[in-house]
Structure 1
């Protein structure tokens, strides 16, 4: 269905105008000047001819069929115009106007009215609150940006200014351009994931570049991105991480930004390359659209100066990229063509070996790309500027090297990224590198980010089968007794499972929980405590008292029979004082767990992505250190391992100061059990396991809370 919109062979300009300052004039003029291959139909009941084209009184008056409408009139006119478009058989409309949900309640009502009209008459919508769209292949420019460069990147953007920034950058760099630009706007109708589906199947598009402020269906987006990234890379910058940024995003697009920790981890798991600095966005997209990925996370650095080589090595190390040892054969061949002062370990420093003959760069590159340990090459320094820096005659050697470097990428199927101090001079050698699609940056930091993106995308392709596809098989592993527990709570009009019910539920799925029972009398509490080897804990059991400690409903370190009796009496007394109407079911008697590392595992429903899981240090440390990770459910075994590794405290689990490490295998299994629980029982809204005691062997869920959906 999107093909009729994005590849429209005819466009109606509703709100066409003779006023050069109006969008209805600019759109027609741009389409004409840029050679749009389809038909243009201006619509304005007050005009006869605009820019040499017959003007139609209404959409219905157009004598031919029309694929797409560009509507430039105010927001209040949109619902009735969509009715006309639908009756005419127009497949879609680009809604330029703002004034919808980004303006509050009244705007939301108008947007709802617009959507009802669009759905009733079968018209798909781009926008509203959009700068428009461009199809570079057919020159269908509905934005007005002139001379936008053609290439193989599809651009999805929720900001007209950001789109202009990226298109302008592409014009300046002169190496890469776009197949499409779509201003997604409020995403009222057509969602991000639908565009991904379309671009993933477009043979002209090699990568997808996205600027996102908010999205309305994060789960479906992740599912589609997971499929798309196996075909082509997605590069994404999401704004709205800060509180002020979120407010700005909400007022600008009418979309609420999702929790940044959840979003970033989810995007990366879907194989998306997440960018956090806007100046890296286009260079990374350019690199991924033109260079093969690095599938072994190993890179060689070729430099004509030690300073650049060292900085590059540090930057790549920060990204977790390996600088592999070069084989003895590689080093031997490098020594044969470089001066004695050269360093032939990785990074390779030519030490003046290219000063009189820059073509040596190509000789070294050929040797390095042949090395089986090397997955890609980063060249840093002065290449492209030797004829400027030293002597014009060296330009010829640089040009010859550029030709050879460009051909190497194709023959070796390994990428080359170039950092050059002289990139902005746009010398002929630099232009030749662009001809061969070798990306050149004047920033060493950006060059290293481009290499990191190639490694990250390579990892996505090699680990695809180990990732989750973000799909739930709801209820597939539910236990009948587990369903009975939930139904019992529902029958009592409870949303919260009692602690022992929650523990029973997670135990059914293999989670290790401390053995505890409910005592309905003081004598039962004593008897149960006596059956436990060691100290015990007593906790109130009441559906009306969720925060047991606040009610004085928890007593710990109980050792003697007298301790248990006194604690039981005090807990019941405190509970009645806290809530005289509370339904008190008894007291939970549990063994006292005294050793181990406290961790926390929790789940919740995120507004954007649905069920997510959290892991981190438990107890008071969760509040102090906030060292937690959020991942979208369900998770795979690989995801569970990554969750643990992503926390700063993961080093503690390996053991410190000669202490044995903790049982990460048991912890990983518990995370997977929690994922299975949420998939098994869609009624669960939140689950909180805190504390979970992790030991050197095994793990123990000490406390559990499960809240059901309304």
Structure 2
């Protein structure tokens, strides 16, 4: 456990300690004392002899005893020298509060690099910089200065101090749950998100990991650690910046579409992370997952004391992909015996006033429902907790008794109960009792539905866990000499784009059906080549400087006669030269016209945080406007290729609609797998765009293929003697 001496430090030096109450150097010491930190505190300030009754040292190296952790509150420019002094004392870790580093520009990045070098030279692990601090709640090591943070079993990782404060305040005011650790991750200059995951995965005091993320330095390593962690403990994550598509690339449709918001969400979910898009759901979901058993069959029952709440809850859960099956006949019969004749018992279950004089019936109904093997969990919605307030105080005792019964019921049946109550803000004792037993209570119906749905989401993930999904890339393993030669030739010519016939040749080498495309450099040659095709042809400009051929009017379709082919050749060349006078034009590509079918796009992109990703969706010139697509981090398995086809809105078209025959999904899935393999085989591939790919009843046709290279990446892998080592 590389971070154990840092996060479980037995001694802390507060560098920049102060007697001024408003300064961090004072607040940190006071909080450590007030929260009875189990270790030793060493204030460091050359101008003071003591602070809050503790001996003060001029510098860390003057301390007589071992120092595990340093909280550094001094300005950014002092950091390199301070870390050098910490190194002399063998300090294991440091929390850097100061900002003004990589987040502010070139000079800040330079200073951050200097600080990191000083830390690495002295074997000091850094939290931050630009962090609000960290807490080890079980040991009282509060290096944030925030008082009365509730203790519990949730680890909180956040790149925003304000978001962390919001989450902690919500826990304090609305829950009985709390935190094992808080880490203000900051700029990730040294310790990265994935290292914290490894630590918390093995921490016995942590049952769930809650994350607020703005950016990630080593996304693929994070996915690898998350995949190992989520089988043992849930990870709940809110990624900010969904409204931004990140850096758009003009090189390909894939580059423009596969922005961080799309890639991150699917990558996180594939690693088993519960992705949250609404900040109000973040802590409630963590509270739920850290308290309750999972739902193993994606089936939920709704118990309500009013039809409106039941109907709305059913709609919300259905939108979240949850099944709401009818109860089995035996369960329905039992409910009818204890509820009024007007009650509805199939599911949702509406007690129809049956609890107005006896709210303890909620517990009786809940037990009947949870004994049904078709039901994986129960959502109770409506007035529970408020009967004693609305109707008669004597009913409060019945509600409390029901709360005790339901709390014990969850443990006995090993099925969860989540509760929505209109009276949550009134804080009746019955709802407090439910929380005591680990049953969360929410005043928002939407939040309650989300919380029980994630129990089903996690249950489904555990049931379908893919042990082989390790997010590891095996470079070059499937490369072939002729393919390497194609890429090497392009790079040696100074090109970062494969010509279309080169791209198609590369695809052919890896199992895509043979292409008949040929290049013509004159109108006479175009006529001769077209004559060998035996059908109508398409003609396209070939130039490494013209990526979007249609924009340059460099494409002509359905050509049959000699005169049409000659005219098309001359027109294409004229338009291309007009579009880009200095373009390097290699000629015109002649290819048979593809048969009609469904146009789709398959592409890959190299994402800065997660490495290579693959995209599938409806194709053609409207792809960036329709935006019906799915993405995955490479490599993909056959299972994930299949799921990419199924999760798009256009998926039903592949099966055939309005009497039409379906399309060849097997061949389409095969192309997806080959594209994934290509990226691993040739790491120089930065972006690949197959658009359109026309899917037929039998087979597929690659109409256009574009591959963009990254010359700099060649040296990372092409000449690496360990090029088969997983990334």
- For 1:176-191, list aligned pairs within 5 A: 176-191=177-192
- For 1:534-545, list aligned pairs within 5 A: 534-545=535-546
Following TM superposition, by how much is the alpha carbon of 1:292 offset from its aligned partner in structure 2, in angstroms? 1.1
Match for residue 347 of structure 1?
348
Distance 1:396 1:443 in 2: 25
Per-residue Cα deviation, 1:437-458 (whole angstroms, up to 9, x for no partner): 0111111110001011111111
Distance 1:579 1:161 in 2: 51
2:266 is paired with a residue whose SS is helix
1:258 and 1:607 in contact (8 A); partners too: no
Match for residue 702 of structure 2?
701
Q: Check 1:377–1:508 CA distance in 2 against 1; reply closer, same or farther (3 A cut).
A: same
Match for residue 330 of structure 2?
329
Per-residue Cα deviation, 1:44-86 (whole angstroms, up to 9, x for no partner): 1111111011111110111100100001111111110001111
Distance 1:207 1:182 in 2: 14
Distance 2:465 2:381 in 1: 32
Match for residue 144 of structure 2?
143
Match for residue 531 of structure 2?
530
- For 1:431-450, list aligned pairs within 5 A: 431-450=432-451
Q: Check 1:300–1:581 CA distance in 2 against 1; reply closer, same or farther (3 A cut).
A: closer
2:152 and 2:177 in contact (8 A); partners too: yes
Moved more, 131-140 or 501-510: 501-510
Q: TM-score scaled by structure 2?
A: 0.92
Following TM superposition, by how much is the alpha carbon of 1:572 offset from its aligned partner in structure 2, in angstroms? 4.9
Following TM superposition, by how much is the alpha carbon of 1:279 offset from its aligned partner in structure 2, in angstroms? 1.0
Following TM superposition, by how much is the alpha carbon of 1:358 offset from its aligned partner in structure 2, in angstroms? 1.6
Per-residue Cα deviation, 1:462-488 (whole angstroms, up to 9, x for no partner): 121177322111111112221222222
1:467 and 1:638 in contact (8 A); partners too: no
Match for residue 81 of structure 1?
82
Following TM superposition, by how much is the alpha carbon of 1:661 offset from its aligned partner in structure 2, in angstroms? 2.8
Distance 1:545 1:443 in 2: 54
Distance 2:118 2:306 in 1: 64
Moved more, 606-615 or 685-694: 606-615
Distance 2:245 2:637 in 1: 34
1:518 is paired with a residue whose SS is strand
Q: Check 1:620–1:585 CA distance in 2 against 1; reply closer, same or farther (3 A cut).
A: closer
1:513 and 1:702 in contact (8 A); partners too: no
Moved more, 208-217 or 481-490: 481-490
Following TM superposition, by how much is the alpha carbon of 1:628 offset from its aligned partner in structure 2, in angstroms? 2.8
Distance 1:640 1:516 in 2: 28
Q: Check 1:631–1:370 CA distance in 2 against 1; reply closer, same or farther (3 A cut).
A: same
Match for residue 600 of structure 2?
599
Any stretches of 5+ residues in structure 1 without a counterpart? 247-256
- For 1:421-432, list aligned pairs within 5 A: 421-432=422-433
Match for residue 394 of structure 2?
393
Match for residue 94 of structure 1?
95
2:480 matches 1:457: no
1:239 and 1:245 in contact (8 A); partners too: no
Match for residue 720 of structure 2?
none
Q: TM-score scaled by structure 1?
A: 0.95
Moved more, 529-538 or 295-304: 529-538
2:508 and 2:515 in contact (8 A); partners too: no
2:646 matches 1:645: yes
1:467 and 1:639 in contact (8 A); partners too: no
Following TM superposition, by how much is the alpha carbon of 1:345 offset from its aligned partner in structure 2, in angstroms? 0.4
The count of corresponding residues between Structure 1 and Structure 2 is: 700
Q: Check 1:492–1:258 CA distance in 2 against 1; reply closer, same or farther (3 A cut).
A: closer
Match for residue 250 of structure 1?
none
Any stretches of 5+ residues in structure 2 without a counterpart? 248-257, 712-727
2:404 and 2:433 in contact (8 A); partners too: yes
Distance 1:579 1:11 in 2: 65
Moved more, 540-549 or 383-392: 540-549
Match for residue 298 of structure 1?
299
Distance 1:407 1:21 in 2: 48
Moved more, 420-429 or 321-330: 420-429
Distance 1:105 1:565 in 2: 55
2:497 is paired with a residue whose SS is coil
Following TM superposition, by how much is the alpha carbon of 1:294 offset from its aligned partner in structure 2, in angstroms? 1.2
- For 1:193-592, list aligned pairs within 5 A: 193-243=194-244, 259-465=260-466, 468-512=469-513, 514-520=515-521, 522-572=523-573, 584-592=585-593
Match for residue 21 of structure 1?
22
Match for residue 254 of structure 1?
none
Match for residue 657 of structure 2?
656
Following TM superposition, by how much is the alpha carbon of 1:312 offset from its aligned partner in structure 2, in angstroms? 0.5
Distance 2:569 2:359 in 1: 85
Match for residue 59 of structure 1?
60
2:448 is paired with a residue whose SS is helix
Superposition CA RMSD, Å: 2.1
Distance 1:55 1:242 in 2: 49
2:620 matches 1:623: no
